Structure 1
Amino acid sequence: MDRLDTAFDLRGSPFVTPSAPRLDPRKFQDPVTTLDGSPRATVALTGLETLWFNTGTLCNITCLTCYIESSPRNDALSYLTLAETQAYLDEIDALGLTTREIGFTGGEPFMNPAIIPMLEAALATGRQVLVLTNAMRPMRRFERQLLDLKARYGAALTLRVSLDHHSPAVHEAERGEGTWAPAIAGLTWLAKHGFSLAVAGRRLGDEPEDVARAAYGALLRGLGVELDVMNATRLVLFPEMDATRDAPEITEACWGILDVHPETMMCATSRMVVKRKGAAAPAVVACTLTPYDPGFELGTSLSQALGSVALNHPHCARFCVLGGASCSGR
């Protein structure tokens, strides 16, 4: 019997559907060629527009399909320190890079006790700063400090709140019982105080994008939250991700076949800094979605991480090339 996965219809009611085909374990093994021997697609860095800092994998909740497996116990990626963050901010200037945005992700960034000094260091560079948060209790502990940052830096600081769906049932099926109300409370607190806001959600496989955006719009209007849900940087809808499900390998020929351009991929314009548990120093990886894959580790400095990236992971295909998604706020 096939394994069954729980899914949800557009009303948030549970139903059961057969699982998708499993990924062929022979795929995504060779960074140079695909399983059928074709040249694997690569992406050159056109410019480091966004530098991400993973503040650590610890999170106050455990989500069902979190790509990085964040939880209250997972410290596989350690907390970054202010000094480590500052070193990379300084390297941007030393290399003369055109970086316009600094992103903070986790885990839950507000679990890191140094998050406010790190945000201030990034904002002090004059760049846009984006923080991905669940807007729950860890963030609320820093209300006073966040209000201070907003007073001094205004819309340069954007907080992107994760709402996995526009219905509480689907959101809590992913994030756990009792997670909807605190997230909504945090979101409305940010809106009430005039923070620059974005929302990140998921679009279920059978849910048209226009339907999802309209439903998020209705939800936010009902909460008194002003957000342009048609703006893809203000309401970011990610495809569902499961690295164990089948995905096509992307060859060089796919760019023309799909009419997709390599310079539109995340790894053409961004990199992420992580610190592995027990490591002496942070490392730079190619993408926010592949922090554990050693094939995507590019070195310990930005200067070592400015080369091309082979699309040798299921997320490269499903999320970026075919899904057209990006984590950046641009």
Structure 2
Amino acid sequence: MPPDDALASPLALPARGRFQDPDVTATGEARASVALSDPRTLWFNTGTLCNIDCPSCYIESSPKNDRLVYMTRAEVERFLEEARALDWPLREVGFTGGEPFMNPEMIGMAEAALEAGHEVLILTNAMRPMMRPSVQAGIADLATRFGARLTFRVSLDHHAAPAHDAERGAGAFAASLEGMRWLRDHAPGARLAVAGRAFMLGREAEARAGYAALFAREGLAIDAADPGACVIFPEMDEAAPTPEITTACWGILGLSPDAVMCASARMVVRRKGSARASVAACTLIPYDPAFDLGETLDAASAPVKLNHPHCSKFCVLGGASCSG
């Protein structure tokens, strides 16, 4: 860890002075930025509508939030074609929401990415939207055709029902487990992963042991010790104090900008009222116009200035990434 005073000085300043100027921090230092050095992951936000309403959802997804409207297969295909034209070394195409299976074109969008030769990661709560017969048939078909190139990462905030249900509603844990069992039995070629929440879980070793016990009981082929298969995310509270990241921080932290998520990923969104989809810097900041990089991947290849608390707490200091 860096010396306490190396990153702490911005915390003593009024909150209104931090994360304001894209080029300069509240202490007058040059703000860090991250170049798109290895564009291997392209995300699509399928829409912010969700079947549940979680108090701590960073994107405020709910049954009523349609600030990001449904993505379409045609839009996914357009951006995948542009990625090919730009010779991006895409490995993975991710789909997030909201709940992706609320989108009626989710199966088609995943199929387009898989047929283009990419791995596909779908973030889901594995609840009722995924369990509709037409969706189940589509998932089973994709799993049969593409196998392990398809991954479902299920949101399980905790390995025990009470803590998970406190965030997602009574019965949510049982419903998600039912969906995971269905995936285990009917999409056996696809991979399963989970995502938990650090603030609920306490010490990481104990959390992973709890998940391992759950996976063993349920016969789920998920390695709880693998950070890519059992992801434990730091929290994303914009109001919580966190240092601004200066250009000097890379050396202080012993961290390369290439390790930060926006060095390797972009996310396509379609905002309500917009005529076309556009590209956001990352999955975490879909609404802020300062992080909208334009309507093409070419335009979105510009460096990203780390002018948001999520950049600091989640990505740089938290070391987290949304990709697989």
Aligned to 2:7: none
8 Å CA contact 1:205, 1:239 repeated in 2: no
Post-superposition Cα deviations, 1:289-319, rounded to whole Å, max 9, x if no partner, equal 0001111110000010111101111011110
Q: Say which SS state the counterpart of residue 70 (structure 2) adopts.
A: coil
User: How far off its partner does 1:223 sit?
Assistant: 1.2
Superposed, 1:153-232 pairs within 5 Å as: 153-193=146-186, 194=188, 195-204=190-199, 207-232=202-227
TM-score for both structures, normalised by structure 2: 0.93
Q: Give distance in 1, aligned partners of 2:172 and 2:100.
A: 17
Post-superposition Cα deviations, 1:20-71, rounded to whole Å, max 9, x if no partner, equal x998132100110110001111111112100000000000001111010000
User: What is the identity percentage for the equivalent residue pairs of Structure 1 and Structure 2?
Assistant: 56
Aligned to 1:240: 235
User: How far off its partner does 1:204 sit?
Assistant: 2.1
Superposed, 1:262-277 pairs within 5 Å as: 262-277=257-272
Q: Does 1:73 align with 2:64?
A: yes
Post-superposition Cα deviations, 1:107-150, rounded to whole Å, max 9, x if no partner, equal 00000001111111010011100000000010111111100111
Q: Say which SS state the counterpart of residue 298 (structure 1) adopts.
A: coil
State which drifts further: 274-283 or 88-97. 88-97
Identify which of 86, 96, 103 aligns with 1:112.
103
Identify which of 4, 14, 34 aligns with 2:25.
34
Aligned to 2:249: 254
Gaps of 5+ in 2: 1-11
Post-superposition Cα deviations, 1:157-211, rounded to whole Å, max 9, x if no partner, equal 1100000111211111111222111001101211223131111111227812111
The RMSD of aligned alpha carbons is 1.6
8 Å CA contact 2:158, 2:201 repeated in 1: no
Q: Give distance in 1, aligned partners of 2:293 and 2:249.
A: 25
8 Å CA contact 1:79, 1:112 repeated in 2: yes
Amino acid at match of 2:117: G
Q: Say which SS state the counterpart of residue 16 (structure 2) adopts.
A: coil
Identify which of 113, 116, 124 aligns with 2:115.
124
Q: Say which SS state the counterpart of residue 153 (structure 2) adopts.
A: strand
Amino acid at match of 2:75: E
Q: Say which SS state the counterpart of residue 42 (structure 2) adopts.
A: strand
Q: Give distance in 1, aligned partners of 2:221 and 2:270.
A: 36
Q: Give distance in 2, aligned partners of 1:23 and 1:183.
A: 42
8 Å CA contact 1:162, 1:199 repeated in 2: yes
- How many residue pairs get aligned? The number is 310
Identify which of 129, 140, 157 aligns with 1:138.
129
Which structure: greater helix fraction?
2
Q: Give distance in 2, aligned partners of 1:22 and 1:39.
A: 17
Q: Give distance in 1, aligned partners of 2:95 and 2:154.
A: 12
8 Å CA contact 2:48, 2:69 repeated in 1: yes
User: How far off its partner does 1:240 sit?
Assistant: 1.8
Q: Give distance in 1, aligned partners of 2:252 and 2:36.
A: 22
Give runs of ≥4 in structure 1 deviating > 6 Å: none
Q: Say which SS state the counterpart of residue 32 (structure 1) adopts.
A: coil
8 Å CA contact 1:59, 1:108 repeated in 2: yes
User: How far off its partner does 1:85 sit?
Assistant: 1.1
State which drifts further: 310-319 or 202-211. 202-211
